[in-house]
Amino acid sequence: MKLNTSEFVDKSCIVTSLSQWVFSSTSSDSKLKTYNVMKPIIPFALLGALFAVGANAAVTDPVGYVTIPLPGTGGGAPQALQVASQQLLPGGSTEFAGVAEGFGSDGSGTFLQDDDGTWAAGDFYNSTDSQFTSLVEITSGPLVGTLTWITGSDVDKLYTFDDISAAGADAGFKVIRAFTVSSLLGDVPTSDVLGGATSISSADNFLLYNSAANAYTTFWYKTGGPGGVGWRSDDGSITNPAESPIHPVDSGIIFVRKQSAGGSLVIAGDVKTGVTDVVIRGGGGTGPSATTLNIVQVPYPVDQLTPDNSGLYTGDPATGLAGATSISSADSLLVFDSATNSYTTFWYKTGGPGGIGWRSDDGSIADPANQALSSTSAILIQRKASGSDFTWAIPPVTIAP
């Protein structure tokens, strides 16, 4: 399936056209290209030596860097697209690791309590700009893998966006710092990463997708003109776009490049270990295709995830993707390849001629179930039938010695 990138004209067009491009075709001309982009900074034998953590313990995470290709227009279509995963956390992202004494709620919201917490009141949240900076990750117990934003802190409490009390006392947890727009792309981005301009229509755009709201927020760098220079957003409620946080999983990152020449984004940081939970929104959306779109970042920089080992198909549409006897009826898993400007679609066939199992619209893929999904690309999940949300437990990365 080829994308008509000339439709990227304004925000409303982006929202509409991305959904249409993804879901309007099931042709077999898509080609999946994987990228071997993981570059170890230290030997993997050392990376695998993670330290056990307790209250106030030091945490050492594997580190590396990745390169995300950003295609240019080549002088043809006015804009080029990349739908990507950041794949890494910021370097030194673990700000605290401990064990929860308990959970509760008060006038400030729901909280996790750790009497051994070394943070100060007000840490882990940008109160000046009313923006998130860090997340709690549950590392043991029934909610292992859960990530939720920190909305505030007191001397022994971390207030959280979601109620995570089901994690239970003695649950292990970490505080993880998130990338922001400026820490990921640069305080003043180079043209190789994101070209600036005096208007949003002329500048390269960086978009974050919110599946819960079914909406995009667009960021761009203003280089001059009335109002000065700096990071800008089309969301007037964001007072400091440069410090806007990027969820490491539940927020696909999209680049719309308007320069003829291609570029690239190099990201250095920590490799996330352990299982990662993300909520996949239910079907019956109100977009052009009447489906619900989820854009999920692959949380690690190696091509180990496949449709089969992803755990996305469980046989129960209440806990996973819905299968069907045809691609038009089944929920879909899509991966974007910026080199060919196309998507590859995977779906689970539940019966009919040809048997059952994972299928793809790319006839050149001999074994769709075990096809490695490119970690460079975000994963797009199309829910078609009306259904409930479910939590996808993304399997942890395996680090070879």
Tens digit of pLDDT for each residue in 214-248? 889 999 999 999 999 999 999 999 999 999 999 99
Nearest to 376 by CA among 54, 44, 67: 67
What pLDDT does 28 receive? 33
pTM: 0.85
Contact indicator for 297, 378 with CB cutoff of 8 Å: yes
220 contacts: CB under 8 Å, gap ≥ 6: 194, 196, 197, 200, 203, 204, 205, 206, 231, 232, 233
- Residue 276 in any domain: the answer is no
In the predicted structure, residue 56 carries a pLDDT above the cut 90: no
Count of CB atoms situated within 10 Å of the CB of 306: 17
In the predicted structure, residue 11 carries a pLDDT above the cut 90: no
What pLDDT does 81 receive? 97
Ranges assigned E (strand) in 163-252: 172-177, 205-210, 215-222, 230-233
CA–CA separation, 327 vs 358, rounded Å? 11
Contact indicator for 151, 252 with CB cutoff of 8 Å: no
Task: Look up the domain containing 123 and give its range.
Answer: 94-177
- Residue 305 in any domain: the answer is no
Contact indicator for 17, 208 with CB cutoff of 8 Å: no
- What's the domain count of the chain? 1
Question: Tokens at residue 353, please?
Answer: 């001629």
- Residue 13 in any domain: the answer is no
Question: Tokens at residue 73, please?
Answer: 């227009």
- Residue 396 in any domain: the answer is no
Mean model confidence pLDDT for the chain: 85
In the predicted structure, residue 12 carries a pLDDT above the cut 50: no
User: What is the per-residue pLDDT across 145-155, written as a single tens digit (0 to 9) for each?
Assistant: 999 999 999 99
- Residue 319 in any domain: the answer is no
What pLDDT does 257 receive? 97
User: What is the per-residue pLDDT across 238-281, written as a single tens digit (0 to 9) for each?
Assistant: 999 999 999 999 988 999 999 999 999 999 999 999 999 999 99
- Residue 233 in any domain: the answer is no
* Residue for token pair 């400026």: 182
Question: Phi/psi of residue 356, each to 5°?
Answer: -125, 165
Strands 342-349 and 357-360: what pairing?
A: antiparallel
**pLDDT band, residue 212 (cuts 50/70/90):** confident
In the predicted structure, residue 19 carries a pLDDT above the cut 80: no
What pLDDT does 398 receive? 87
Percent of the chain with pLDDT over 90: 76
User: What is the per-residue pLDDT across 322-340, written as a single tens digit (0 to 9) for each?
Assistant: 999 999 999 999 999 999 9
- Residue 218 in any domain: the answer is no
What pLDDT does 401 receive? 64
User: What is the per-residue pLDDT across 290-299, written as a single tens digit (0 to 9) for each?
Assistant: 578 999 999 9
CA–CA separation, 192 vs 186, rounded Å? 11
Question: Tokens at residue 151, please?
Answer: 């909305």
CA–CA separation, 157 vs 144, rounded Å? 19
- Residue 12 in any domain: the answer is no
Nearest to 381 by CA among 280, 298, 302, 311: 280
